[in-house]
Amino acid sequence: MSLAIPVVISQLGHTFVQTADSIIVGHFAGTIPLAAVSLVGSIFTIIMVIGIGISYGLTPLTAMENGRKNYAACGKLLSNSLLINIITSILLFLLIYFGMLLVIDDLGQDPEVVRQAKPYLGLLGISIIPLMVFNTFKQFAEGLGFTRQAMSISILGNIINICLGIIFVKGMFGIEPMGVKGVGWSTLIDRTIMAVIMAFYVFRSKHFQVYLKGFALNRISRFRSFKILKIGAPVALQYTFEVSAFGGAAILIGTIGAIPQAAHQTAIAMASMTYMMASGIGAAATIKTAHHFVSKNLHELRLSAVSGYHIILVFMMITAALFISLNAYLPWLYTSDREVIAIASQLLIIAGLFQLFDGTQVIGLSVLRGLSDVNTPTVITFVAYWVIGIPIGYVLGITLGLGAKGVWYGLTLGLSISSGLIFLRFQRLTKKLEKNISRT
């Protein structure tokens, strides 16, 4: 927990940007702009987690080299990862600018929602570049066990985002009201500031000087780059399959109408916060697993992994109870539209039901990531969400007319299947490794 709590707060920073944007727009701009934030969020989050997943390849490798006391190798991994992440962020920006902005008109969404969504999506597309730079140094520091600094910078960044968002959206201090575009500008500014501060901290802090002796952007190794991508690419796919399933759900619900879409955004914003908190605990599990794996202490590895499962079960039971018991009140944080609140309150009950599945699959994936086992879990997440979850959600929500609730029932089924199969994979693999170590 001492390792996880700062990571949890830092991870929340990614999600809270979207949450803050939703709250600001919902209260100061209205229901149609809130639906525009939902549409953009469903698209941009997919792009964002691809980048975050790629950057995660650095963390377990850095933890392993640090465990071997091979400090120079950590700096070499950082330089390779920084170049990979910058190139990735540019490609993702081009994908948004020349891809998403062109096809958004053909998704069957409300025309006014699409009109307001376009400038917001364009600004978020640019923000992926500083976000990836920030995440590179964040993952490097966390892989070495320094988790509090990224947490502090994330808190600062979110304060900046909220203040600027209110000023730009509402129109204050002589600035004309910008609507949805205002939160796009605030997000871009805050992510740029966060990237600069995080990079400055790593390069200037005495904690990292021994590691940075191996840092050199002019000496990029294909071997190290391949090692980073060998872990990062499958992790990116895992995140993409899950988040794109929820993004696909937003688009499906958007074909029903702007009000259900705004309700989906309200509920998913809260569920995303608990997911990212679970992801922070999972990041700590990845680091601990990598350390124990390198030292071949498989008994401690299983104990720390099972502890992660216990922590996440308790945490998600608490959040589930909050979602279910306060389902009629929490949507008021985002909007005062009673039609939106009526649907969102029902979705929060479903969100409460899938909390345990969501948390346990995050921990399972994180432990397997620390063991460099990423390919089989990637297949599991694809099948659970896109072969089972989304098709069943479409049948229940659209074909059978259950609406947003039907789509969410399908997502819950996909989460439960993913959680169960990942746990079985964790049990089988760690017990097998434990037996192999005991024989030798």
Pick the closest to residue 162 from 367, 25, 285 (CA basis). Answer: 25
pLDDT value at residue 130: 93
The span from the CA of 134 to the CA of 89, in Å, is 11
CB atoms within 10 A of CB 222: 8
- Looking at the structure of the chain, the number of domains it has is 1
Kindly report the pTM of this predicted structure: 0.70
Q: Is 176 exposed, middle or buried (0-12, 13-18, 19+ CB in 10 A)?
A: exposed
Q: If you search the block for the tokens 């959040």, which residue do you land on?
A: 319
Pick the closest to residue 244 from 35, 28, 42 (CA basis). Answer: 42
pLDDT value at residue 440: 53
**Contact call for residues 42 and 247 (beta carbons, < 8 A):** yes
Pick the closest to residue 180 from 370, 283, 399, 33 (CA basis). Answer: 33
The span from the CA of 286 to the CA of 305, in Å, is 9
Q: If you search the block for the tokens 């659209």, which residue do you land on?
A: 398
Pick the closest to residue 235 from 104, 385, 53, 407 (CA basis). Answer: 53
pLDDT value at residue 369: 82
The span from the CA of 346 to the CA of 261, in Å, is 13
Residues contacting 57, CB < 8 A, separation 6+: 81, 227, 228, 229, 230, 231, 232, 233, 235
**Contact call for residues 173 and 167 (beta carbons, < 8 A):** yes
Q: If you search the block for the tokens 């072969």, which residue do you land on?
A: 387
| Containing structural domain, residue 414 | 4-439
pLDDT 10s per residue in the chain (440 long)? 777 777 777 666 666 666 666 667 665 566 777 777 777 776 777 778 788 888 877 877 887 777 777 888 888 888 888 888 999 899 988 888 877 766 776 666 667 777 777 788 888 888 889 999 998 998 888 878 777 777 788 888 878 888 887 888 777 777 776 777 787 888 889 889 999 999 999 888 888 888 888 787 777 777 888 888 887 778 777 777 877 787 778 778 877 877 887 788 778 878 877 877 888 788 788 878 877 777 777 778 888 888 888 999 998 999 899 999 998 888 887 777 788 888 889 899 988 888 888 889 889 888 888 887 878 888 998 899 889 988 998 899 888 888 888 888 998 999 899 999 999 998 888 777 766 655 55
The span from the CA of 38 to the CA of 247, in Å, is 9
pLDDT value at residue 29: 63
pLDDT value at residue 355: 85
